[in-house]
Every structure is written in C-alpha cells, then in structure tokens.
Amino acid sequence: MTPPSRGPGTGPRPRSHPASHPGPVHGTWEPRPAARWEDGFLSGNGHHGALVFGDPDDDRVVVTHHTLVRPNGAEHAGPPELAAELPALQDRLLAGDLTAAEGFTDGRPLQWVRPFHPAFQTRLRRPCADRPRYRRGVDFATGETTAGCAGWTSRVFVSRADDVIVQYVTGTGLTLDLSLDHRLPGAPAGLGVGHGTLRTPEGAALSLRARYPDSDRAYTGVTVLAVTGGRVSLAAPGVRIEDADSVLLLTRVRRHTGELDVAEETRALRALLAKWSYEDLLDRHTALHRTAYERVTLDLAADAGERALPGSELLERPGSTALLERLFAAGRYHLLCASGLFPPRLTGLWTGDWDTAWAGAFTTDANINLQTASAAAAALPEVLSALASLIYRQLPDWRENARAIFGARGVVAPPHTDGESGLTYHFSREYPLHLWTAGADWLLKPLVDHDETRGEHDPRTAAALAEAARFYEDFLTRTDDEGQLVVVPSYSPENRPANASWGALNAAMDLSAARHALLTAAAYHPEHAERWRALADRIPPHRINADGALAEWAWPGLDDTYDHRHLSHLYAVWPLDEINPYDTPRLAAAAHRALELRGAENDSAHGHLHHALVAARLRDGHRVAHALARVLEGDFFHASLMSAHYPHRDVYNADAAHTLPAVLIEMLVQSTPDRLVLLPALTPALPAGELRGVRTRFGADLDLTWGPDGARAVLRPHRTHRIDVRTSSGTEPLDLVAGEDHVLTLGTW
C-alpha cells in the first residue's frame, strides 16, 4: 500500500475499471406478465406498498400497508408472569437439571403475533390485442413500475412525498373497468366488505371497507381518479371508463377502529389530483427516493449483453457478475421501499396472500438484523430510522417483559412482533423464546453503528442502552464456582445443546450481548461507566470445545448441535467486533472452526447469508463465495427479484433480497470506529469493479476501485481521526483530516 495522498474536500473521483464500459442496470424488466403475484414488481414508501402484476388484460396492483395485521387474539396477549419462579429455575439449572426450563411457562399454547395481510387489489380490465409487444419493468432509481402493450401504458409508484399509491394509464380510446377487489388468496370468509362509488367532476371515487371477523377493527381503502377525455359511469362495485386518453388514480388505505371518514379522505386525495399532474407527483417523490437510492452503487464491470437481459433470464446465470450487480441494486431498492413506518417484515412490505408464513412478522432473533445489515454502510439512514421507530415505540412493552419474566428493571426485546405490540408472548417448549435476553443489544447494534458513522450519539439510543445495562445489573446475579457471572437461563436462537434442553446456561450470544450492552452503555454514559464496565469484566469468556470450535454454550458439559440454520453463537464475530482475526486470533480461529462445522439444516436463505457475513469478517472469501452460490444456484429469487425463504422459490421472504447487499459490501470493505479493512474476502469471481459511496464507522465516505493491476480507495472524512488500514499486505496507520481526501493505492494481491 502506498502512502496516502491528500487533496481538497472535493478530490478526484476514482475511475471505474475498465473506464469505457457502461454502468450497471438500475432496474429490471420482463417480456411477459406476472403469472404469480410473487413475480409482481414492487414499489413502496415504507408505509404503503404496491405489488404490480402488470397483466395486459387485467392490470392489478395489490395494495399493502405496514399496519395491516389481522386480529387473532394476540392483541390481548401479554408476557407470562414468571418472575417469582425464576430463582427456583436458576437453582435447578445450576444444580445440573438441564431440562428444568421446560417447565418455566404459564402453560399457554403457542400464540402467533397478528399476521400481516394485503388490503385489496385495484383492477383495470381491458382487452389487449397485441400481446407480443408487451413489456413490464421497474426503475430502481425512481421507484416507478411500468407495463404496457401497443397503444396502452400503465405506470405505478408509491409516493414518499404524499404517501399515496399513484397509477397512470395512457392510451388511445381507453376502455377500462375499474374495481377494488378484496378477493385475494386466503382472505377470511367472514371478512365484512362494503363498497362505495361516487361520481366527481374529474372522474370518480371508489371506497372499500373491510371489517375483520369478530372484531371492531377494520381497514378502508379509497381510490380517486381523474379521467382525460372519454366518459365515466358508475358500475357498482366499480366504475366503467370509455374512450379515454388517460386515467390517473390515487389510492390510500387506513387501518382503524370504528368508522373512517371516507368523505374526508376522498377530499384529501381529490385535492392532490387538483394540484399535481402525474409528472409533478413523480418528481416530488423522486426527489426523496432517488437521493437515497443513488448514494451507493456497485459496478462489477459486467458484460453489457448480460446487463440487458430480463431478470428471469439473468437468474438462470448464477455465476454472472451482472446478476450480482442487479441483485445488489434490487436489494437496496427493496430495502428502501420497505422502510419507513417500520423496517421490513419477513415479506418486506408486500404480500399477495393472507396466509403469510410466520405471520409476516418482524422476527427479531435473526431476520430483521440480517435484512438491515447493510443500512449503515450502504448509506440508508432511512432504514435505520425505521428500525429506531419500531424500537422506541415498543420500549414500554420491553420494560414489561423484563418485569414480568425476570423481575428486573430495564428492557427485554420480544422474539417476534407484529409492529404494534412489543410484548413477549410467542414461545413454546421447542422455541422457549421468552428466555432470550440478548434481543435488546442485538436490535440496538445497528443504531450504534449508525451513530458511529455520523459521529454523534442519538439521545434515544443512549437511553435505550442504559435500560439494557440496568436489566443486566438486575439479572446477572448468579455466579459459578470461580465467582464469574452466569447467564441463567440462557437461550441460543433457535438451537439446543445436543445433550440438554433448549433453556440452558451461558449461551455464547448471551455472553457477548451482555458484555457488549454494558460496555456500549458505559461509552454513552460516562457517569455510570465504572459500574457497568466492572460488571462486564465478570462475564465469563467464550469456551473452545473439543473440536477446536467456539462453543455455542460456554457452560462445561453442554455439547454443540452443528446442523442448524442459525449462527447465533458467532454474534461476537458478526455483527460485533469482539472476535476478529486481528485482535483475538485464537478465538477467531475457533470461530472459523465453528463455521466450518455448521450445517445448513433446511437451506434457509438467512442461514446461508448469515454464514457469508461471518465468513467475510473472518477473511474467508472462499466460504463467502460458497454461501452466495448456495443462494444464487438454489432458485431463491422470483422474477421480481424479491426472494424466497427456501430453494425453488418456496415461501415469499425478503431475507435473501435484503441481506445480499451487506454480504457484497463486507467482502470489499469493513470498518470499525478505529479500523478500515480493504478487500478482506474478495474472490476471483469478482476480478474488477467499483463500489462508491460506502459510509464507514469512523466517519468517512469511501469509494473503492479494484482490478487486475491493483486497487484504489478514496476516503472523504467528516472528522479528524487516526485509524489503522488493513490489507492483504499488512497494517498501516492513517491520520484522517476532516474535509481532506485521502487516496490509498494498493498493489496486486
């Protein structure tokens, strides 16, 4: 590595390699309609979602909203009142009764959180005689989907500026039948649905109100339309449009109790129609969306011919760098679209079926952090703001979990949430998720990373960290024979020791989370630092088992179960920096051995990509590439470039789509507040490329270019700081000066 050169804050931009090739495609397209809703193109603003089928004869847009969860009894559920029984459970576990936690329950059956569901679909029926010229696509930079055949085009986006789904249909002599249709797969038979239609001077207004069975809760959708040319007539439950030149539709949905004022919502949407054209609405939205989307780009110098392929054909070339480019772009796009009111659910912000797997919940013991893993580095603070919004709204419920289950102050996060309730009530004998105490630290870690990228502490994060530390002060009261603290009971999601029950002692994730929470809270709160650091020092170290692997449970006598999709025990490697090849090489070697021994169990996408993230931190590019190949070759992606949970596109799920960008970034750039690692896990499959706009945890933006002749990194620091720069050739210190570019040149490797 040559010494860095410095320049003014603007600095030279690194050239792509080679300089002449066109940039990657920021969108995808298909020459055929979507035969399955899973193949529909997606748009969203973090509140509303649109799943666009784009069928020539029956143009459908499935409308979703983050708040749409169906009552199922969970709205009345709370955490089990078990605190009084905790000391006896701890006594039994410490005495060697390794099945004791199976009775630590109030006897309730498994209660799922309220399931996420679609609202309805807008349907525009018309004959399209010239199907061979049909094409549909989505532009990631604008969030706009398009579809059409000869003489007809439909454009759809979800506005970040006006929180409305916008659809614009143009053509010659358009004749359309428009309706709001709730009849989607899995819709309950007892759903009480009412329709309304109204003529307006500019066109018409439609409404659909749906009341959940045996509930006072409901949701209402309103669509207003403006028609240019032609005629509009009411044809209940919809409208008929004849001989029109264009139709502009605005749609919103609201979940509520009691009655919603449809007339007021209609007036609000009509006011938007009166004020803005389609292009105006798109421009207002794009100013917000494009700014976020274009902050980070990845160019892998892919073949121009492959870049031009429709997504479904590109997916048939799993070794293509053009596929990685497009999945990186699509992953950031979908992650941005799904984040606003909440971060992404298991299905992002979309579903076309009421029977969503695992309730379409926010699963907090793995999935939500994997999906948001790229947010800090990939410059998507919108995603972290959405995660923060979920956490901070639920802190009162987290406090109730700590009180009811553990008799402690502070906070304990739930393993599942529907977005409204943060109470822990989803657990069973095989999944004793109420024993999981690491959740608060795990969920707050991305917010800590965000604070590090921007160089200041969010007071809300500081307050939540203090509550996590207070929980450990009250909970960590038991010690072993050597006087070290014991995490008891302890749970490693979602695994169990080979020779014991699920609820055990000193799970590796729990040890790391407790230590990290206390030390991080101490850094945010110097007034309590001495007390919390002293407590952290009493937490036992990790154990290396007889196989030379980092043990999933540090308690002697607990044997590992290797074939499991979760890698909770390697929390210290990723996302934490507690174990790494530089400061803790012996533990890093043991963690690597644990990764080698880990099986894939049921081939869940999140397991493969979690494996890749850990391997990247351990500088094992071969293992990263193998994990990526399992996903790329396993038919995990739909034509929409949204992913599935299992191979062969089984179970619509956003884990792979949203996590893949994080894997690619971690292969190329890693950072801590004091360290930059360049090209830690690069493989021959990525011989050249450019990654631009990455944000580091030491407060600098970074552009990286690499190719056969070496690599070049340009750092644009926002604060003055000394870091270590690590490459394959060694380590060098670097003094960063705020406002001055620092250019690093690396030789071949």
How far, in Å, CA of 426 to CA of 301, rounded? 47
> pLDDT tens digit string along 347-383?
999 999 999 999 999 999 999 999 999 999 999 999 9
Asked whether the predicted pLDDT for residue 460 surpasses 70, the reply is yes
pLDDT at 130: 57
Q: Which fold has domain 74-111+338-678?
A: Glycosyltransferase (1.50.10)
- Which helix (H) or strand (E) segment holds residue 524: the answer is helix 508-524
**Mean pLDDT across the stretch 199-218?**
96
As given in the structure block, the two tokens for residue 179 are 């309706």
Range with the lowest mean pLDDT among 11-15, 88-92, 733-737? Answer: 11-15
For tokens 């029926």, what's the residue?
125
pLDDT tens, position by position, 560-597:
999 999 999 999 999 999 999 999 999 999 999 999 99
Give the model confidence (pLDDT) of 583-642 as tens digits: 999 999 999 999 999 999 999 999 999 999 999 999 999 999 999 999 999 999 999 999
User: Considering only CA atoms, which of 479, 477, 478, 502 is closest in space to residue 491?
Assistant: 502
Q: Of 83, 75, 40, whose CA–CA distance to 61 is shortest?
A: 40
Q: Which of 212-216, 385-389, 584-588, 589-593 comes out lowest in average pLDDT?
A: 212-216
Question: Does residue 736 contact residue 717 with C-beta atoms inside 8 Å?
Answer: yes
Residue range 27-68+115-289 forms a domain whose CATH class is mainly beta
Domain boundaries, the chain: 2-18+688-746, 27-68+115-289, 74-111+338-678
20 band by pLDDT with thresholds 50, 70 and 90? very low
Question: Mean pLDDT, to the nearest integer, of 644-661?
Answer: 98
Instruction: Quote the pLDDT of residue 132.
Output: 62
Tens-place pLDDT, residues 304-313? 999 999 999 9
* One-letter identity of residue 492: S
The torsion region of residue 319 among left (phi > 0), alpha (psi -120 to 50) and beta comes to alpha
Q: What is the pLDDT at residue 219?
A: 97
721-727, strands of its sheet edge to edge: 669-672, 675-678, 721-727, 730-736
| pLDDT beyond 70 at 131 | no
3-state secondary structure of 662: helix
Residue 546, pLDDT above cutoff 50? yes
CA distances from 372 to 216, 346, 494, 595 (A): 34, 12, 20, 22
**Average pLDDT for 74-92:** 97
Token duo for residue 347: 């299905």
* Inter-residue contact 513 to 410 (CB < 8 Å): no
The CA–CA distances, whole Å, from 335 to 328, 350, 711 equal 11, 12, 29
Pairing verdict, β 165-181 and 152-158: antiparallel
- How many Å apart are CA 653 and CA 357, to the nearest integer? 8
Give this prediction's pTM.
0.96
